[in-house]
């Protein structure tokens, strides 16, 4: 067959895999938002069935032959074709080592695990979920061994989310973050303002009005309402059904800031998916090169934009109209209230400064699980001891402790570090935006967000997975992964709020 024939077949296979992933994502979204509770077992089978189909297509002899042939003729391909072949070559080097039977078993267990995690969380019953987590850990260890029998199992799994990031890089980055965050948190606690901040959580807010505000926030970030949908779920998330069907979910509390910042966060993910180059549609490249860089987009909109003083200079009057019960609260007091630093149990409800401590705790625990240094039955004790050591608090229930996140029930072990990496990347990107546009914060204060969207589109989004994360970060930010940029941002922001 000619190169042209192989490229044509590759394009067809690539599109088929993309369409199957769309169907799977729709099933996952429906399971989290609308599915009747008794449908859990059948849904697990449906998702498992599609996962096997995707695995079969991806591991087919035909695709392997095509990628092998095109790899030998890589210099004859255009840049997009080269990137497609390179991405598939790396993916096949991993997935071809995993038996189809293992994939089917894993996804069936995951489907049941997630259902039972939700019940366990609701009923504060870790023992209900523990057997499913034990099975997932066992299967993920097997998966890592299939891929690289000699590699560290956690580092092997990490490559699925953050290719090229090693445990050495994570340990060095997180150890620095731990030290610097501990110092900053202690400075906040010693501030005369600590414990005296105005707290919005003492005020009642209508859920119906929260929904309207969330739609407003999402529209500010995404512009085009005809491609996006907001729904309610137990845990906020974003999923792509297709390039023109991007689903954002949020969750509602009496605290209106939770839904607002969750919506901003997930809308940041959706904007990334919406701004991929049209040339990448229905290819393996219509994706981010890593979860860390995807997370940087959500964290940037949530924190650098929507938690900033300048954003609220623009939006606060509209917000007060939606919630008249804060009409007498000055903007400065409101700004302080949305940036209160207070160690807390729930990761997704934590403040910006302590957030990464939650990630570091999860990283250390799941790494120990995968390395065989920790057993599932010992999780409650280890979880509580680390929260006491790093944040000075001890969860009173499983639901506010180790059952709070859905990731492990989904088999997403080694996922958590991407949140911290994304937080660092977001600070680096915002710093570079300010260098390139010194008037940016004045523009944000007027509600003008187009520079941010255009900068992200041109420097990050449009490239999809045509480049690796380190290359995108270097091109966009003019430097490599740098936790010092994040710490400097925290020092400026919280030093101003707490007076140190």
Q: Mean pLDDT, the chain, as a whole number?
A: 96
Asked if 49 and 67 touch (Cβ cutoff 8 Å), the reply is: no
End-to-end CA distance of the chain: 69
Instruction: Count how many Cα atoms sit within 13 Å of the Cα of residue 128 in the half-sphere of its side chain.
Output: 17
pLDDT score, position 235: 81
pLDDT for 201 beyond 80: no
pLDDT score, position 197: 87
pLDDT score, position 1: 83
Q: Is the CATH number of domain 167-498 1.10.1370.30?
A: yes
**Confidence grade of residue 408 (pLDDT, cut at 50, 70, 90):** very high
pLDDT for 254 beyond 90: no
Residue partners of 91: CB distance under 8 A and separation at least 6: 58, 284
Active-site choice (155, 266, 352, 364): 266
Q: At residue 4, what are phi and psi to the nearest 5 degrees?
A: -60, -40
pLDDT score, position 206: 86
Asked if 248 and 33 touch (Cβ cutoff 8 Å), the reply is: no
Helices 355-370 and 126-147 meet at what angle, rounded to 10? 70
| Per-residue pLDDT reduced to its tens digit, 129-169 | 999 999 999 999 999 999 999 999 999 999 999 999 999 99
pLDDT score, position 337: 93
Asked if 445 and 310 touch (Cβ cutoff 8 Å), the reply is: yes
What are the boundaries of each domain within the chain? Answer: 3-150, 167-498
pTM for this entry = 0.95
Mean pLDDT value of segment 11-35: 96
Question: How far is the C-alpha of 217 from the C-alpha of 77, rounded, in Å?
Answer: 42
Residue 496 a catalytic site member: no
**Confidence grade of residue 184 (pLDDT, cut at 50, 70, 90):** very high
Residue partners of 401: CB distance under 8 A and separation at least 6: 345, 380, 383, 384, 387, 395
**Confidence grade of residue 253 (pLDDT, cut at 50, 70, 90):** confident
51-73 burial string, b = 16+ CB within 10 Å, else e?
bbebbeebbeeebeebbebbeee
Mean pLDDT value of segment 345-351: 93
pLDDT score, position 317: 96
Top-confidence residue, 223 or 23 = 23
């Amino acid at each position: 067959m000619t190169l042209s024939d192989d490229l044509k077949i590759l394009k067809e296979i690539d599109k088929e895999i993309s369409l199957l992933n769309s169907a799977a994502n729709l099933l996952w979204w429906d399971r989290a938002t609308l599915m009747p509770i008794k449908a859990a077992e059948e849904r697990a089978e449906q998702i498992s069935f599609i996962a096997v189909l995707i695995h079969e297509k991806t591991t087919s002899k035909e695709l392997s032959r095509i990628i092998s042939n095109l790899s030998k003729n890589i210099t004859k391909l255009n840049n997009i074709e080269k990137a497609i072949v390179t991405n598939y070559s790396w993916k096949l080097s991993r997935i071809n080592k995993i038996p189809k039977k293992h994939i089917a078993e894993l996804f069936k267990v995951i489907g049941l695990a997630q259902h039972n995690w939700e019940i366990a969380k609701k009923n504060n019953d870790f023992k209900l979920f523990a057997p499913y987590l034990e099975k997932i850990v066992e299967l993920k260890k097997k998966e890592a061994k299939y891929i690289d029998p000699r590699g560290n199992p956690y580092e092997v799994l990490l490559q699925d989310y953050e290719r090229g990031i090693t445990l050495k890089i994570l340990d060095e980055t997180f150890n620095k973050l731990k030290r610097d965050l501990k110092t900053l948190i202690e400075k906040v606690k010693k501030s005369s303002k600590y414990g005296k901040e105005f707290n919005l959580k003492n005020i009642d807010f209508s859920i119906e009005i929260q929904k309207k505000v969330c739609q407003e926030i999402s529209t500010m970030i995404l512009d085009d309402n005809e491609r996006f949908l907001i729904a309610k779920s137990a845990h906020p998330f974003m999923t792509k059904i297709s390039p023109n069907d991007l689903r954002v979910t949020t969750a509602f509390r009496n605290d209106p800031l939770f839904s607002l910042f969750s919506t901003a966060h997930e809308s940041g993910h959706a904007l990334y998916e919406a701004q991929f180059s049209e040339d990448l549609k229905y290819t393996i490249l219509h994706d981010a090169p890593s979860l860390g860089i995807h997370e940087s987009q959500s964290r940037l909109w949530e924190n650098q934009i929507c938690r900033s003083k300048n954003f609220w200079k623009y939006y606060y009057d509209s917000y007060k109209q939606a919630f008249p019960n804060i009409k007498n609260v000055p903007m400065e007091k409101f700004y302080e209230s949305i940036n209160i630093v207070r160690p807390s149990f729930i990761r997704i409800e934590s403040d910006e400064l302590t957030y990464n401590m939650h990630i570091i705790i999860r990283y250390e625990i799941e790494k120990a699980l995968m390395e065989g240094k920790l057993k599932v039955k010992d999780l409650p004790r280890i979880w509580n001891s680390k929260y006491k050591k790093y944040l000075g608090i001890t969860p009173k229930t499983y639901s506010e402790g180790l059952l709070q996140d859905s990731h492990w029930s989904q088999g997403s072990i080694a996922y958590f570090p991407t949140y911290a990496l994304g937080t660092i990347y977001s600070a680096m990107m915002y710093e570079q935006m300010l260098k390139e546009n010194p008037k940016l914060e004045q523009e944000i204060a007027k509600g003008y967000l187009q520079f941010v969207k255009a900068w992200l589109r041109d420097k990050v989004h449009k490239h999809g997975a045509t480049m690796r994360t380190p290359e995108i970060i270097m091109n966009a930010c003019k430097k490599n992964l740098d936790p010092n940029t994040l710490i400097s941002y925290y020092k400026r922001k919280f030093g101003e709020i707490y007076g140190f």
